[in-house]
Structures are given as structure tokens and as C-alpha cells.
């Protein structure tokens, strides 16, 4: 194998696939990146796979002799990222004349200033990235995907024991995608409009075959990052009962699906509310951030006092022995006055994930779920449970 | 006590003195900041002290009633930094009318949007910052101080058991300041020109009274940061056998001195060299950074090969089982050819602390000290010992 490529494309593509390299690989080859140099296509394909998440990317290169091998991900990425801009030659130890393979998989990287040799491993040992051949295909709008992921990912659980809750649930509906994420304490549901429908868009949706999967949040975080750097407007999604593959131009992300029934979240969202607050998002968020300094000393509880007569929302915290705080902001409030307490971190998380100038909080009582929604933007519902406080 | 000040000056001054608040205070009051409101001067003075490092700063404020108290550093800094720009009112619970003191030291902070109460402690419990009354006074140029500190601090030891080596040794000489720092593996000596001399500059220097102290690196790091934000050109330094005080306009930094004899470092620097390399600093540093990726896998050793015939300096690393690397850069080399090995991190540290385009490495043999110096800038000597490698 021998190829010449630019430092910038090799470096960018290495750091891209590196995200799928396990930090504690269960097999030595999984600490490596698979490199396939295709002489006919004059391109290089890099793959990394931690047995759950897989990332593949291709870029043009001057491939003198095709071939494949695996190279240590961290070492190669660290060296290449520090090289000056310019051409890099990669060559393995296989002897073309005698067709003798180098069993050390010693690969030589040459650039203007120097020469590095790195020990690789056989490409044969590298596991194939999952392929979905028999499953369904959907086409999703990149804009909707990014929007839905960015608004929902923060609500997924980071506690690995919570299994299905460590993912985001994606449902394809008649005219869009629905994203849901919950860690058991709060829930985000986002509905986005999807320009395209299931392949062969004219057919009515077959509910048996529609997209209805739970994908690990970690894979979707990588997907969102990759898509944000793309100029494509659509991605193809292939899925069956255990795997999902997102695919576009030169890149591919595969992920296992999370097994188990996702909670029936739609029934958790109340349909009617007796109280409503409309407030400026930034004003409310920065007041909560100050209140959080004191709440952090105690139990993270902030008390909201709704006063519809004065049209003022008061936030207060009482951290005994340390101090207390009170902030008042103007708000449009309808419904009877009420004191209701929340975990201040959950409220802040929701407000940070929203981009609009104004938000709306709707609720019924101090013990029933409240929902936060952006005003005049995507359809997002953020549900939080109030906290029960003595004397409430 | 009652005062009104701007959020920006209170926040900036709080974060400044916070650097001297211990993260693990030996007494509860040391987690606090001492605040003194002076009605006559119409200014507020903040002090923090971890019993080794002390920082004091003053700023103008509208002081309605003078007074003093201590307040929790982290809590106060975190709240004030999150407040919007505007006036802040600080008021303690002392009742002026009855002259009754509030034994809870509950202080109220009021701003446009809200009101916070924070529990403080009596100012009486706060230890006085050290004052040097009988000692000597020197006036140092801020430019020289910053330059000397920035070029030497990185060589001080971060290992607390190394006592005197955790500091930087400062010596006032006839026409300048000398800074020395060593962790036992490398040594930096910087000579700076000092416009001013000992107070009453006309007198010859009394060697008994001249500045010759070892100051903890931590205190000097804070000093460098504070001075970089200053516009003053000179600072006064007061010192005796146990304390040093740096003082200018509205600020003051005090530090204990490190006890014990500082190593006689001047005798370590060779006076004559048989070999000399002049190279472009950035070119050498970036080649070392790539070599370091592989050296990091092994024992951090980089081999330098001096070739005066070709005027090339070759850097190489051999991390068995992982790989190897070689970089060649152009250099002006005098003296016989030589292979010499160094700890790559020490070489990189020295090159990073230098700002010039070109550097010079001077050495005699593969087992005697080498020195790195900037070309055409301040007088700085960075000494590193080669590493003994089998076969050298």
C-alpha cells in the first residue's frame, strides 16, 4: 500500500473517526483505525468501531498502490495533527516485488520534515461495521435532525444502568420526526418537520415499518457534531431491529439500538393547564443561575411564586446557615397565585436548550408536572416535576 | 456598614483576591474575604489570606456608613459575577440607632433584580496580613519583574517536599534583578535590567541588605497575573527574613519566604562550550512536539544528532513495539559531530518559555550540561542535563 494525501484532510478525517475508538478497547485492534486505500477510486476510507458506535469516512488521495491495514488511532492522530500543512506519504512494509507481506505491519509516514514508523495490525482482525441490508430506509432532513437532537439530547440519562433511558427515542410520523428523551426526572419531546418521507414517499406509511427506535445518546451526539460540519441537506437512515446506519456523501455512522420498551411518554404530558407564565428566557435563566449559587449549597431547590396581580414571578432560595436569595422578574401570568418548587438545575437545563427570546411555563398545581415550551419556534415540550417542599 | 458600588468593580476585585483564599482553609474565617468600607476615603478594601499568600486590593465606592466584616469568598464571588452590570448595595445587620451588632453577620446584597443575604463572620477573627516595617525596601520595574517571572517560573518544582526548590530565587544586583528556578533536573537563570535601584539609589548597595530571597512560585504566579493587568511601571518591595510584600497603587501581595539555602546555581553553568547549535525556535519546537508523541510512549527520550558538515540537526525517537520517528531541521552547527539525548519535555518547556525567533544550544559532551539561550532578547540561560542512553 502506498498513498499520498494532504496533512489537512488526513488530520481532519482521523480526528473524525477517532470519536468511535474505544478508550478501553476490549481487543487490541479496536484501539486502531482501519485504513483502506482504493486505487481505482483514488480515495482513502477510514473506519473506527467500538462495537456499539462505528464511524466511516472517505476522502480523495493519490493512491499509488491499494491496500488495507489498521493503525493505532491515538498515536497516528497525535502525530498527523502536529505535522505542518503539506503532502504526507503513507506506505506499508509489504514488498510488491516478492508479494511478501510484512508481518510487523510497520507503516512509514513521510513528510517534508521527517519520517515516522508506526506499528499497525492486520486489517483482517478488524471487525466489519454493521450493515443493514434487509431493513427499512428513511430519508431525514439534516436541519430537522440537528434541531431535534440539540433540543433533546440533554434530557437523556447518563447513568448506564438506566438502559433505554440513555438513548433518544426517534419516531417517524406522517410529516415529521419526533424526538423524546427522559432520565426519569424530566422529559423532552421535540417535533420537527421532515421534508422527505419514507422511501417511495407516495405510499402511505406502513406503521409496521416506520422508524421507531431508541438510539444511544453518545452515538447521536457524534452524529449531531458530524452533521453540523456537513453541507448535505438529507441523510439516509437504514435500520432493522438491532442496528441503525446514517449515511451521506462520504460518511457513515452506525450504532446499535437500545433494546426494551421506551416509556409511553405521551401520556405523561398534561393536555390542559390552569396556570401560565410567559417570560423572557435570558432574564429568567440568569436569575436562576444566581439563585443556583445558593441552592447548590442546600438541595438545589428554587421556589417560584406566581403573582398574577402584579404580573411578577419571584424566584427564591433559602439555604439555612449559608444565606438566602430572592429575584423578581416581570412575566405575563394567568391563573391563581401559586408557590411551586423545582430543582433549579432541571429548569436551567431546559432554558439553555431553548433558543427563543420568550418561553412559556404551563402548570396546574404544585405537585403536578409543569411544561416549558419555546415561544414561536420549533415544537418542543420540556416537562419537569415540581419538588415537594414542606409547607407547600 | 453600608456601601454602594458597581457590579463590575466588585466582581473584578473579588475574583482578584479570591486567588489567595485557601481551598482547604485551616480555620473557617480563612474561607472568607475581609471587607473594610472606609467612609473617609470613600473606598472599599478587600483582603484574602491563606497564611502564606495574602492579596489586598482597594477600589472606590460610595460608602454611606463605614465598617468591616468577612464574607464567604466563593459564594459572594459566584453570585456577584453573575449579576447584571449596575449598582450593588451591601449592608450588614448592625443597627446604627441602638449600636447593636448583628451576631449573625447577615449581610444583604441588593441589586436591580433581587436581594441576597449571606452569612459572614466577625472581622476580628480574620488574621492581619503580614507587614514588613523594619526590613528593606527595593523598587522594581514591573516590566522586568513580569519578564523575569514568565521566563523562570516554569522551572520551579511543583513537588511540595522539595521545599526551597518550589520557589524562585530573586537577587538584586547592581543594575538589575536575577531570577533563578530549578527543580533539580533543569535550571533557569534570567537577568533583567532594573531601572531603579535600592531606595536612595545613590548609595552603594549594602550586600547585607540587598534583596536575596526565595519566594514560593505560587505567590509569584499570582503576582505576575496581577502585574500584567496593571499600568504602573514600578512596584515597591519590602522584605525581611521571613516575609516579602509587593505594593503598588491600590494593591498589595504578601508572601512568606521559603527558608533554607538556595542551591549555588551559578557554579552549575559551564563557561565554555565546544559545540554550538543555532536554530529556528518554532521549527525545533514543533518537530519536538511530534517526536514527543512517540517519546511519550517510552521514556520521553529524544536523541539529537549534530552534523556540522551538512548543517543539519536530526531529532529521533525509538519507542520499541510502538514505532520510531526522525525529524531533520536546518541549523548552524559548530564543533564535532555528536549524539546526545535529552528528556523531550524539558527541551520543549524551555523553548516554550522563550519568545525569540532563534535560539542557541551550547554544550560540551553527551554527559555534561547543555544550555539553551534566546538570541537577541533578555539574558536567559536554560540549563538541562543530557540523559544517559545505552550505547551513547
Q: Per residue in B21-68, pLDDT tens?
A: 998 999 999 999 999 999 999 999 999 999 999 999 999 999 999 999
CB contact under 8 A, A325 and B115: yes
Distance of CA B11 to the CA centre of its chain: 22
Beta-bridge mates of residue B48: B55
Per-residue pLDDT at B198: 43
pLDDT (tens digit per residue) in A244-285: 999 999 999 999 999 999 999 999 999 999 999 999 999 999
A272-384 is a CATH 3.30.1330.200 domain: no
Work out whether the CA dihedral A219, A222, A226, A232 comes out positive or negative. Answer: positive
Q: Does B15 touch chain A (CB under 8 A)?
A: no
- Which residues, at least 6 apart from A228, have a Cβ–Cβ distance to it below 8 Å? A146
Which positions in chain B touch A113 (Cβ < 8 Å)?
A: 287, 327-329
Q: B265 versus B207: which is more confidently predicted?
A: B265
Which positions in chain A touch B116 (Cβ < 8 Å)?
A: 290, 294, 323-326
Starting at the edge strand found earlier in the chain, the sheet holding A379-384 runs: A212-216, A167-173, A176-182, A186-193, A379-384, A370-374, A358-363, A275-280, A332-334
The span from the CA of B52 to the CA of B133, in Å, is: 18
Q: Does A115 touch chain B (CB under 8 A)?
A: yes
Query: Which residue among A75, A114, A327 places its CB closest to the CB of B287?
Result: A114
Given the C-alpha cell 503539506, which residue does it identify?
A: A86
CB contact under 8 A, B82 and A289: yes
Nearest CA among B186, B181, B265 for reference residue B221: B181
CB B52 within 8 A of CB B18: no
The span from the CA of B16 to the CA of A147, in Å, is: 40
CA distance B146 to chain A (A): 30
CATH code assigned to A136-266: 3.10.150.10
Nearest CA among B124, B118, B2 for reference residue B61: B2
Where would I find the H helices in B333-378? Answer: 344-353
In three-state secondary structure terms, B105 is coil
Give the DSSP H or E segment for A156: none
- Pairing status of strand A67-72 against strand A62-65: unpaired
Which positions in chain B touch A114 (Cβ < 8 Å)?
A: 287, 290, 315, 325-328
CB contact under 8 A, A294 and B115: no
- A209 band by pLDDT with thresholds 50, 70 and 90: low
Work out whether the CA dihedral A296, A297, A301, A306 comes out positive or negative. Answer: negative
Q: What percent of chain A has pLDDT over 70?
A: 93
CB contact under 8 A, A113 and B328: yes
What is the residue-wise DSSP string for A240-267?
A: -SSEEEEEETTEEEEEEPPPSPPP-GGG
Q: Does A320 touch chain B (CB under 8 A)?
A: no
In three-state secondary structure terms, B252 is strand
pLDDT, mean over chain B: 91
Question: Would the CATH topology of A2-125 be identical to that of A272-384?
Answer: yes
Position B203 pLDDT exceeds 70: no
| Cell numbers found for residue B234 | 514600578
Distance of CA B326 to the CA centre of its chain: 36
The span from the CA of A136 to the CA of A239, in Å, is: 6
The span from the CA of B74 to the CA of A183, in Å, is: 31
Q: Does A309 touch chain B (CB under 8 A)?
A: no
Which positions in chain B touch A326 (Cβ < 8 Å)?
A: 114-116
What is the residue-wise DSSP string for A19-77?
A: TTS-SS-SSGGGGEEEEEEETTTTEEEEEEE-SSEEEEEEEE-EEEE-EEEEEEHHHHH
Per-residue pLDDT at B113: 86
The span from the CA of B237 to the CA of B253, in Å, is: 10
Give the DSSP H or E segment for B339: strand B338-343
**Residue A128 CB-density burial (10 A; 0-12 exposed, 13-18 middle, 19+ buried):** exposed
CB contact under 8 A, A115 and B325: yes
The span from the CA of A125 to the CA of A105, in Å, is: 12
CB atoms within 10 A of CB A225: 13
Which positions in chain A touch B113 (Cβ < 8 Å)?
A: 287, 327-329
| Cell numbers found for residue A256 | 446499535
Position B94 pLDDT exceeds 50: yes
Return the domain boundaries, chain A. 2-125, 136-266, 272-384
Nearest CA among A251, A254, A229 for reference residue A43: A251
Percent of chain B as helix, strand, coil, to the nearest 5: 25, 40, 35
Overall average pLDDT of the B8-28 stretch: 95
Overall average pLDDT of the B360-386 stretch: 93
Number of H helices, E strands in chain B: 6, 26
- A348 band by pLDDT with thresholds 50, 70 and 90: very high
CB contact under 8 A, B116 and A325: yes
CB contact under 8 A, B286 and A117: no
B2-125 is a CATH 3.10.150.10 domain: yes
Per-residue pLDDT at A104: 75
What is the residue-wise DSSP string for A65-117?
A: E-EEEEEEHHHHHHHHHHSPSSEEEEEES-BTTTTB--TT-EEEEE-SSEEEE
Position A204 pLDDT exceeds 70: no
Which positions in chain A touch B326 (Cβ < 8 Å)?
A: 114-116
CB B82 within 8 A of CB A289: yes
Lowest mean pLDDT segment, chosen from A17-31, A275-289, B377-391? B377-391
The span from the CA of A71 to the CA of A64, in Å, is: 19
CB contact under 8 A, B75 and A297: yes
ipTM: 0.86
Position A96 pLDDT exceeds 70: no
What is the residue-wise DSSP string for B184-198?
A: SSEEEEEEEE-SS-B
pLDDT (tens digit per residue) in B330-342: 999 999 999 999 9
Q: What values do phi and psi take at A84, rounded to 5?
A: -70, 155
| CATH superfamily label, B271-384 | DNA Polymerase III, subunit A, domain 2 (3.10.150.10)
Which positions in chain A touch B302 (Cβ < 8 Å)?
A: none
Overall average pLDDT of the A348-366 stretch: 96
CB contact under 8 A, B75 and A323: yes
HEC profile of B34-61: EEEEECCCCEEEEEEECCCEEEEEEEEC
Give the DSSP H or E segment for B314: strand B312-319
Range A21-29 contact pairs with CB under 8 angstroms and sequence separation of 24 or more: A21/A48, A21/A50, A21/A73, A21/A74, A22/A50, A22/A51, A25/A50, A26/A51, A27/A125, A28/A121, A29/A70, A29/A121, A29/A125, A29/A126, A29/A127
Amino acid at each position: 500500500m502506498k498513498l499520498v494525501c494532504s496533512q489537512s484532510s488526513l488530520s481532519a478525517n482521523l480526528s473524525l473517526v477517532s470519536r468511535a475508538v474505544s478508550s478501553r478497547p476490549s481487543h487490541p485492534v479496536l484501539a486502531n483505525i482501519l485504513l483502506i486505500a482504493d486505487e481505482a477510486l483514488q480515495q482513502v476510507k477510514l473506519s473506527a468501531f467500538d462495537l456499539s458506535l462505528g464511524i466511516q469516512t472517505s476522502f480523495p488521495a493519490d493512491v499509488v498502490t491499494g491496500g488495507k491495514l489498521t493503525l493505532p488511532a491515538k498515536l497516528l492522530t497525535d502525530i498527523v495533527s502536529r505535522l505542518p500543512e503539506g503532502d504526507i506519504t503513507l506506505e506499508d512494509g509489504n514488498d510488491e516485488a516478492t508479494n511478501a507481506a510484512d508481518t510487523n505491519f510497520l507503516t512509514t509516514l513521510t513528510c517534508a520534515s521527517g519520517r515516522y514508523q508506526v506499528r499497525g495490525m492486520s486489517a483482517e482482525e478488524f471487525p466489519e461495521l454493521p450493515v443493514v441490508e434487509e431493513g427499512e430506509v428513511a430519508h431525514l432532513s439534516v436541519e430537522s435532525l440537528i434541531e431535534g437532537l440539540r433540543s433533546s439530547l440533554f434530557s437523556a440519562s447518563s447513568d448506564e444502568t438506566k438502559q433505554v433511558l440513555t438513548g433518544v427515542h426517534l419516531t417517524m410520523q406522517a410529516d415529521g420526526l419526533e424526538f423524546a428523551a427522559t432520565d426519569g426526572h424530566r422529559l423532552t419531546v421535540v417535533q420537527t418537520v421532515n421534508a422527505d418521507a419514507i422511501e417511495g414517499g407516495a405510499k402511505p406509511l406502513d406503521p409496521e415499518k416506520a422508524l421507531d427506535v431508541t438510539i444511544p445518546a453518545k452515538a447521536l451526539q457524534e452524529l449531531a457534531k458530524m452533521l453540523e460540519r456537513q453541507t448535505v441537506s438529507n441523510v439516509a437512515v437504514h435500520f432493522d431491529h438491532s442496528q441503525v446506519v446514517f449515511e451521506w456523501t462520504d460518511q457513515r455512522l452506525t450504532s446499535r439500538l437500545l433494546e426494551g420498551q421506551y416509556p409511553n411518554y405521551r401520556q405523561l404530558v398534561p393536555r390542559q393547564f390552569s396556570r401560565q407564565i410567559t417570560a423572557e428566557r435570558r432574564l429568567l435563566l440568569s436569575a436562576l443561575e444566581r439563585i443556583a449559587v445558593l441552592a447548590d449549597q442546600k438541595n438545589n431547590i428554587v421556589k417560584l411564586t406566581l403573582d398574577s396581580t402584579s404580573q411578577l414571578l419571584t424566584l427564591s432560595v433559602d439555604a439555612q446557615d449559608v444565606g438566602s436569595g430572592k429575584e423578581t422578574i416581570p412575566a405575563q401570568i394567568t391563573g391563581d397565585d401559586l408557590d411551586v418548587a423545582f430543582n433549579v438545575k432541571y429548569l436551567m437545563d431546559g432554558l439553555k436548550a431553548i433558543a427563543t427570546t420568550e418561553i412559556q411555563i404551563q402548570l396546574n398545581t404544585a405537585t403536578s408536572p409543569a411544561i416549558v415550551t419555546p415561544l414561536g419556534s420549533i415544537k418542543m415540550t420540556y416537562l419537569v416535576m415540581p419538588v415537594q417542599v414542606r409547607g407547600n
